[in-house]
Amino acid sequence: MVRYRNGFRIFWIGVFIAGGLLALGLGSCSDHSGVTDPADRADFADWFTQSSSSVESNLSSSSSSLASSSSQTSSSTEISSSSEMSSSSSVFSSSGESSSSLALSSSSSAAVIEPSSSSVASSSSVALSSSSSVSVNTDVCTYNAGNSELQCPKVTYKVVTINTQVWMAENLNFVPASGVARCFDDLEENCQKYGRLYDWATALSVCPQGWHLPTQAEWVALANYLGGTSVAGAKLRTPDGWYSTGANYVAGTNEVGFSALPGGYKTTYDQGLGKEASWWTSTQPAGENIQAYRVTYATAGLSGTGNLPDYQNSVRCLMDDP
Residue at a domain's end among 101, 132, 163: 132
pTM attached to this predicted model: 0.60
Asked if 114 and 181 sit in the same domain, the reply is no
Asked if 181 and 296 sit in the same domain, the reply is yes
Asked if 180 and 238 sit in the same domain, the reply is yes
Asked if 301 and 172 sit in the same domain, the reply is yes
Amino acid 142 reads T
116-to-23, 110, 131 alpha-carbon distances in Å: 100, 9, 21
167 and 316 Cβ atoms separated by less than 8 Å: yes
Asked if 188 and 108 sit in the same domain, the reply is no
Q: Is residue 245 part of a domain?
A: yes
Q: How many domains in the chain?
A: 2
How much is the pLDDT for 6? 52
Q: Is residue 9 part of a domain?
A: yes
Residues spanned by the domain of 306? 142-319
Alpha-carbon gap, residue 295 to 235, rounded angstroms: 10
How much is the pLDDT for 57? 52
Q: In what helix (H) or strand (E) does residue 280 lie, and over which residues does it extend?
A: strand 276-280
Q: In what helix (H) or strand (E) does residue 108 lie, and over which residues does it extend?
A: helix 38-132
Residue at a domain's end among 132, 151, 172: 132
Q: Is residue 276 part of a domain?
A: yes
Q: Is residue 137 part of a domain?
A: no
Asked if 65 and 108 sit in the same domain, the reply is yes
Asked if 256 and 149 sit in the same domain, the reply is yes
Asked if 35 and 178 sit in the same domain, the reply is no
Asked if 14 and 159 sit in the same domain, the reply is no
Asked if 230 and 278 sit in the same domain, the reply is yes
Residue at a domain's end among 77, 106, 132: 132
Asked if 120 and 181 sit in the same domain, the reply is no
* E strand intervals along 26-176: 142-144, 149-151, 156-162, 165-168
* pLDDT in 10s for each residue of the chain, 322 residues: 544 455 555 565 665 565 555 444 444 444 444 444 444 445 545 544 555 555 455 544 544 443 444 444 344 444 344 444 333 333 333 333 333 333 333 333 333 323 333 333 332 222 223 334 566 888 889 999 999 999 999 999 999 999 999 999 999 999 999 999 999 999 999 999 999 999 999 999 999 999 999 999 999 999 999 999 999 999 999 999 999 988 899 999 999 999 999 999 999 999 999 999 999 999 999 999 999 999 999 999 999 999 999 999 999 999 999 7
Asked if 166 and 311 sit in the same domain, the reply is yes
